[in-house]
Amino acid sequence: MITKNEAIKLAKEHNSAYDYCTEYENAYLFSIKDSLSIGGFDSPIAIMKETGECFNMTHFVDCVDEGALVEEGYI
């Protein structure tokens, strides 16, 4: 299992502009808070807590059981 800080590091390696994290029971979702992007480089990504696997937003919404919302806020 990866920690929130490890997930933040992975997310920032993907896109250093990510500034917001929504934590669920099974995953962290990273995004740029005021961005309306739904595709491309600025699209949100999910990082699974158990494995550290990264998914794009579409896969996350369609295929992942994220569990209940834990917390959200700026990183």
Residue ranges making up the domain that contains 27: 4-74
Q: What is the CA radius of gyration of the chain?
A: 11
The pLDDT tens digits of the residues spanning 10-34 come to: 999 999 999 999 999 999 999 998 7
Q: What does the mean pLDDT of the chain come to?
A: 90
DSSP 4-56: HHHHHHHHHHH-TT--EEEEESSEEEEE-TT----SSTTS-EEEETTT--EEE
Number of separate domains in the chain: 1
Higher pLDDT, 65 or 14: 14
The pLDDT of residue 33 is 86
* pTM of the full structure: 0.88
Contact 47, 11 (CB under 8 A): yes
Q: Cα–Cα distance between 48 and 44 in angstroms, integer?
A: 13
The pLDDT of residue 37 is 63
The pLDDT of residue 38 is 63
Contact 3, 48 (CB under 8 A): no
